[in-house]
Amino acid sequence: MKTVRLLTLTSLFAASTALAHTMNVLPSHYVQSKTGGFVTVDLFASNMTFQADKGVGVEGFKVVLPDGSIAKPTAAVQGKRKSMADVELTVAGTYRLEMGGQPRYFTSYKVGGEQKRLMGDKQKAAKELPKDATDVVTTQGRNRALAFVTVNGPTDTVLKTTGQGLEFSFDRHPADIVAGEAVTATLTLNGKPVEGIKADLSFDGELYRNDPARQHLVTDKAGKFSFTPANAGRYLLEASAEAPLKSDKADKMREGFTLSFEAALP
Amino acid sequence: MKKISVALVLMSGLVLPATASDLEIALQLPKISEGQYHRPYVAVWVEDSSEKSVRLIEIWREKPDWIKDLRRFWRKTGRADQPLVDARTGATKGPGQYRLRWDGKDDQGATVANGEYQLVIEAAREHGGRQLVKQKFNWDGTAVALSVAAGNEIGQVQLSRKAP
């Protein structure tokens, strides 16, 4: 009995740490006042906000230029605790820095009451699942970590939503987020505002205080929630949502994003 | 008679850019002896009652890289209008007393409507601090006599306008 309980705890712990690890795209600067410069971007997984725990593969990182075209960093290296990428800012406007975004498939199932999981979509699962598998659900998971950097005047091209997956829009440009001023976010799933999506807002320096002071936000009927950054500094917004999916690859989708941004001094 | 009226028109033409009705701004930059001293980047501008910038008076700065450190100035004015920033740029200045004026016009040269405005002064210093001063005033033809106490990066500020 003791052994079983221990095993359950261990697997729970493994699952929760895997889920709890937050992906971060953290640029050295969010605002620049000249073209032709660079930002260096930290890419890492973390548990405490902006406390780098693990460097991530840099091949999943891309830069969306102010005109919407996609570029690669001029240099990137994966470190043990964090990875880094240099991004050249040749033109004015708003850039989107993005990591991840590739769908991954996994199929969960039960055999004799025991929960199991295999990496693969419905077609792969059909070949590999044991014959006595029950409760089979295949999930398409997609996570993106984002940040926006603005050189001179802000632009909107890289903020536009696509109608695909979980997306957000703010009632102000990310470069206009200021301490003490309310921001209203709208979260959409496949282009439609959805009620009840949960999001967490946290801020820099969790390692150095007892109370993480995270704000737990939930979208209303119009898919909106509001928050007011109390102080100037770096913030992280995390949200995720699930929805049924009609696809030959998966039964449902699980979408998540993290957005790092700064609230400027008033 | 004709000659006189011409003369009057000329005279009033000369009188039009009268500086007596300007808002006079006296601004001190303090002497700072602690730590490294670099001259501050300073921007002085006027915002309307909705906190929208209507007139950039001056910006004292050097390299464009660091203008962003004047956070509010950059957000409200600088980032959107490079030619305006260049046109109002002056060299950085050391400790001392400086006098500026606002003629009641916006960046396009149009006379602003009567109402409440605020003078905004922002200073940021490399290896030093940042300070923002906001002082509201009524711009309706009446006299202005206001004083803002000295802070760490911006010394005493005085706003004055003579009644006509």
pLDDT of B14 strictly over 60 = no
- What local confidence, expressed as pLDDT, does residue A99 receive? 97
- What local confidence, expressed as pLDDT, does residue A100 receive? 93
Report the C-alpha gap between B67 and B69 in whole angstroms.
5
A149 and chain B in contact, CB less than 8 A: no
Q: How far is CA B102 from CA A76, A85, A137, B92, B117, in A?
A: 50, 46, 69, 20, 12
Structure tokens at A63: 């830069």
Tens of pLDDT, residue by residue over A198-229, are 999 999 999 999 999 999 999 999 999 999 99
pLDDT of B73 strictly over 70 = yes
Tens of pLDDT, residue by residue over B88-106, are 999 999 999 999 999 999 9
B75 and chain A in contact, CB less than 8 A: yes
DSSP string, A104-115: EEEEEEEETTEE
Phi, psi angles (nearest 5°) of residue A43? -125, 120
The answer to whether the CB of A46 falls within 8 A of the CB of A22 is: yes
DSSP string, chain B: -HHHHHHHHHHHHHHTT-STTSEEEEEEE----SS---PPEEEEEEE-TTS-EEEEEEEE-S-GGGGGGSHHHHHHTGGG-HHHHHHHEE----SEEEEEEE-SB-TTSPBPPSEEEEEEEEEE-TTS-EEEEEEEEEESSS-EEEEE---SSS--EEEEE---
Please tell me which of the candidates B68, B72, B132 has its beta carbon nearest to residue A33: B68
Domains of chain B: residue spans and CATH: 18-161 (2.60.40.4070)
Please tell me which of the candidates B75, B78, B82 has its beta carbon nearest to residue A176: B75
Across A191-195, average pLDDT: 96
pLDDT band at A127 (very low <50, low <70, confident <90, very high): very high
The answer to whether the CB of B41 falls within 8 A of the CB of B123 is: yes
Structure tokens at B74: 């950059």
B51 and chain A in contact, CB less than 8 A: no
Kindly list the residues from chain B whose CB atom is less than 8 angstroms away from the CB atom of residue A34.
63-65
- With CB atoms and an 8 Å threshold, state whether A31 touches B74: yes
A185: enclosing H helix or E strand: strand A183-189
Of chain A, the percentage scoring pLDDT greater than 70 comes to 92
Tens of pLDDT, residue by residue over A155-184, are 999 999 999 999 999 999 999 999 999 999
Across B130-136, average pLDDT: 97
Nearest to A253 by CA among A241, A236, A237: A241
Instruction: Specify the 3-state DSSP secondary structure of A13.
Output: helix
Return the number of CB contacts < 8 Å for A and B.
36
Report the C-alpha gap between A86 and A74 in whole angstroms.
6
Residue A176 Cα, gap to closest chain B Cα (Å): 7
- What local confidence, expressed as pLDDT, does residue A1 receive? 41
- With CB atoms and an 8 Å threshold, state whether B71 touches A37: no
- What local confidence, expressed as pLDDT, does residue B21 receive? 87
B65 and chain A in contact, CB less than 8 A: yes
- With CB atoms and an 8 Å threshold, state whether B67 touches A266: no
pLDDT of A144 strictly over 70 = yes
A91 and chain B in contact, CB less than 8 A: no
pLDDT band at A21 (very low <50, low <70, confident <90, very high): confident
- Dihedral angle at the C-alpha atoms of B74, B77, B82, B87, nearest 10 degrees? -110
- Say which DSSP state A173 is in: -
Report the C-alpha gap between A236 and A83 in whole angstroms.
18
Tens of pLDDT, residue by residue over B17-66, are 546 689 999 999 999 998 899 999 999 999 999 999 999 999 999 999 99
Nearest to A165 by CA among A261, A252, A237: A252
Q: How far is CA B14 from CA B8, B9, B55, in A?
A: 10, 8, 24
The answer to whether the CB of B121 falls within 8 A of the CB of B44 is: yes
Tell me which chain B residue has its CA closest to the CA of residue A173: B75
pLDDT of A256 strictly over 70 = yes
In B124-153, the residues whose Cβ lies within 8 Å of chain A are 130, 132
A155 and chain B in contact, CB less than 8 A: no
A113 and chain B in contact, CB less than 8 A: no
What is the pTM for the complete model shown?
0.87
In B77-106, the residues whose Cβ lies within 8 Å of chain A are 78-80, 82
pLDDT band at B163 (very low <50, low <70, confident <90, very high): confident
Across B140-153, average pLDDT: 95
Q: How far is CA A262 from CA A147, A166, B32, B78, in A?
A: 10, 22, 30, 19
Kindly list the residues from chain A whose CB atom is less than 8 angstroms away from the CB atom of residue B71.
264-265
